[in-house]
Structure 1
Amino acid sequence: MDDAVTLEAPRFLWIGRSDEPNPVAAVDEAVSAFDVSEVCFVLAFLPSHLDVDETAQALSARLPGPPVYGCTTAGQITGEGYEDHALLLLAFPKANFRCASALIDDLAPLEAPQVAAQAQRLDDKFRHRMGWKRLGLVFCDGLSKQEDLLISTLDAVLKGVPIFGGSAGDGFRFERSFVLHDGRAHSNAAVLVLVETNLEFQGIGFDHFLPMGRQIVITRADPDERLVYEINGAPAALEYARLVGCPVTQLSPEVFAENPMLLRHNQKFYVRAVREVSDNHAMSFLAAIDDGLILTLGRGREIIETLDAGLDIQNAGGHVPDFVLGFDCALRKLEIEQKQLHRNVSQILRKRRVFGFNTYGEQQSGVHMNQTFVGVAFFEAQSREPTP
């Protein structure tokens, strides 16, 4: 697709963005793109350079009516495709959406019974509107190490409600990440948003890896900290480096992104991504890990083709989505930039009208995963033909 082509804007989503370095100026510019009085709620995705508290305060002051949810990010997906320095606001119109939310604070350690009760209360209080369909959105502190238990708990409680989410990031610093709720930024927390819509929607989830058959057994780990000390009875980083054919001194996020470890669950393979390697050759992961876990080394397929194919969806009437809310792993973006495919991928994201952010992990179908694209495609509701 030619960069000069102007794409038609979504009909059921308003988009505001700004590159301003000052939080107040950025919020003012982004909010000016839509009529606040017509907005049900706003999702805000923050770049790492904006002060999160100042931005949250500015959003609260500039948007006194509609609630604002969202998080800090490892990158934004705007109308230009991949970006790193844009404040992105996605405004959902009252005519097509309604919502209710809960802040799950003091996330680590997660108390599953309390989270389950909180989610159940929210679901019970948020009365269904006739003919509208419900889904859940989750934004979680990406450094909390609680996403696995959180999403499995929510999925078990909110039966019949599909839940999609992404873990907040802070670029690639791995220092602090925040979620937004009730005009404030919160760490060690998650936000659950129940959404009802009169639009059709369809969940999306895919990656670009195939199992290579090389078995990996976790022989010593600290599950609470997502740390692996031994693989196949050897120091973890040394054994991993041997398996992928890379000197241990050259292990890097780029190597991890292209050589992930895959966990088989319910006949599907999910990536267990490596965050970093410590001086004692322990490996830190971005998702749940445990002693005795059997993994398989993965190898990537062509990421451009799998992205375009994964987003090439239609509804039953043969119509393409009006827009896609996307949660795309930061490690996918890292691989794309390493291979100098940024422009090509951004073209695909623009063409498919994808808006969202780059995550520290993705949630769908009760599972927390890595190096995956997860999203929700929204379609204009099709009118029903009268019964003869």
Structure 2
Amino acid sequence: MIGCTTDGECSSALAFQEDSVVVVLFAGDGITAKASVARGLAADLDGAVARAVDALGAPGPLTVALSESMGVSGAVLVDALDRHLQNTLVVGGTAGDQWRFEGTHQLFGREVLTDSVVLLTFHGDFAVSVGVESGWCPMGRRAKVTRAEGAQLLELDGQPALEVFRATFGSHIAPTPEHPFAVFDGSDRFYLRAPFPHLFENGAIQLAGDIPEGAEVQLTEAGRDQILDGARSAVRSARASFPGEQPTGLLVFSCAARKQVLGSRTAEELDALQADGLDVDVAGFYTYGEIGPLVTGGATRFHNETVVAVLVGR
């Protein structure tokens, strides 16, 4: 058994909740699972991940990762997972604490942990697919990240990042999760980095994940309807690439920042996920960062403000 604390839960049993426990049981003829844990991420992240992956042995078609979100970089963690976990679809999210940002916990068997990532890999005769979408649309011009330090975006095209942001939205507007940065992945596909409303004298913008120097980025916009459409698109993408005959379950990892922006309409996200007549059990939670590839078979990425929808079945 693995698990973590959240920023809210969703399920076909209790819909959207903020004070529930969601338990998902995987069972089927010939299906087995193995769990492992990487401890002490802050001290030796890459080594801890490597040891946990070694303990898993050869991974199956699907591996779920649930991680610490404070004190470690989600992007650096996911890069390590991508290096060490080969030939498996890696999905999941980082733990939440109901937007308090005080501390999160991970569950491994009977242990309650911090500073860890728990892994569960599945073997057997089953089908799996993934859809990763947000609903945000790029706007304005693309810019090159000319200076960044971890999750702090310092310069775009040689200008202070805050100046570029305010040139788009106005001098009185502070960066917020309502306008994340699209970080392009060598094509028209992109992952998101959410900005925090902290103002720095040097014009930097603090992001909810590392951003690489040299990357092309673009500011984005979306209304609540478009954000909900992103959830629908994630499931449609997963259905379009599902290799089996019949999906039976949907795992969902959605972002706590989406929940903040959706506000009173957060409960509608589950309806959007179940649109188009998808009749399967649904379970998931709101994370502080989502884990999954931009496309099936692609590199594992760390996302903000995104829905990772995972279909499983036969």
- Once residues 43 and 138 of structure 2 are traced to their aligned partners in structure 1, the CA distance between those partners, rounded to angstroms, is 33
Deviations 1:235-271 (A, max 9, x none): 54454234223624xx3xxx63331111111322111
Structure ranking higher in helix proportion:
1
Q: Is structure 2 residue 200 aligned with structure 1 residue 273?
A: no
- Once residues 361 and 169 of structure 1 are traced to their aligned partners in structure 2, the CA distance between those partners, rounded to angstroms, is 9
State whether residues 180 and 195 of structure 2, in contact with CA within 8 Å, keep that contact through their aligned partners in structure 1: yes
- In the superposition, relative to structure 1, how do residues 183 and 257 fare at CA in structure 2: closer, same or farther (>3 Å)? same
Name 1:64's counterpart in structure 2.
none
Within a 5 Å distance, the mapping from 1:224-239 to structure 2 comes to: 226-231=151-156, 233=158, 235-237=160-162, 239=164
Name 2:88's counterpart in structure 1.
161
Name 2:15's counterpart in structure 1.
81
Name 1:260's counterpart in structure 2.
180
Q: Tell me the number of residue pairs that the alignment of Structure 1 and Structure 2 aligns.
A: 296
- In the superposition, relative to structure 1, how do residues 135 and 173 fare at CA in structure 2: closer, same or farther (>3 Å)? same
Which has the bigger relative contact order, CA under 8 A and spacing at least 6?
2
- Once residues 235 and 177 of structure 1 are traced to their aligned partners in structure 2, the CA distance between those partners, rounded to angstroms, is 33
Within a 5 Å distance, the mapping from 1:67-216 to structure 2 comes to: 68-79=1-12, 80-93=14-27, 95=29, 97-113=31-47, 115-124=49-58, 134-216=61-143
- In the superposition, relative to structure 1, how do residues 83 and 114 fare at CA in structure 2: closer, same or farther (>3 Å)? closer
Name 1:334's counterpart in structure 2.
260
Equivalent residue letter for 1:76: E
Secondary structure of 1:102's match? strand
- Once residues 122 and 97 of structure 1 are traced to their aligned partners in structure 2, the CA distance between those partners, rounded to angstroms, is 15
- Once residues 277 and 219 of structure 1 are traced to their aligned partners in structure 2, the CA distance between those partners, rounded to angstroms, is 20
Q: CA deviation at 1:317?
A: 6.3
Name 1:60's counterpart in structure 2.
none
The alignment's C-alpha RMSD in Å is 2.7
Q: CA deviation at 1:107?
A: 0.7
- Once residues 129 and 61 of structure 2 are traced to their aligned partners in structure 1, the CA distance between those partners, rounded to angstroms, is 12
- In the superposition, relative to structure 1, how do residues 269 and 214 fare at CA in structure 2: closer, same or farther (>3 Å)? same
Secondary structure of 1:160's match? coil
Within a 5 Å distance, the mapping from 1:362-377 to structure 2 comes to: 362-365=290-293, 366-377=300-311
- In the superposition, relative to structure 1, how do residues 163 and 83 fare at CA in structure 2: closer, same or farther (>3 Å)? same
- In the superposition, relative to structure 1, how do residues 282 and 260 fare at CA in structure 2: closer, same or farther (>3 Å)? same
Task: Give the share of equivalent positions with the same residue, in percent.
Answer: 24
Secondary structure of 2:97's match? coil
Deviations 1:313-349 (A, max 9, x none): 2645664x21101111112222222xx4334323234
Equivalent residue letter for 1:297: L
- Once residues 346 and 122 of structure 1 are traced to their aligned partners in structure 2, the CA distance between those partners, rounded to angstroms, is 32
State whether residues 123 and 158 of structure 1, in contact with CA within 8 Å, keep that contact through their aligned partners in structure 2: no
Secondary structure of 1:356's match? strand
Equivalent residue letter for 2:6: T
Gaps spanning 5+ residues in structure 2: where?
294-299
State whether residues 74 and 172 of structure 1, in contact with CA within 8 Å, keep that contact through their aligned partners in structure 2: yes
Q: CA deviation at 1:117?
A: 4.5
Gaps spanning 5+ residues in structure 1: where?
1-67, 127-132, 382-388
State whether residues 108 and 146 of structure 1, in contact with CA within 8 Å, keep that contact through their aligned partners in structure 2: no
- In the superposition, relative to structure 1, how do residues 71 and 246 fare at CA in structure 2: closer, same or farther (>3 Å)? farther
State TM-score, norm by structure 2. 0.82
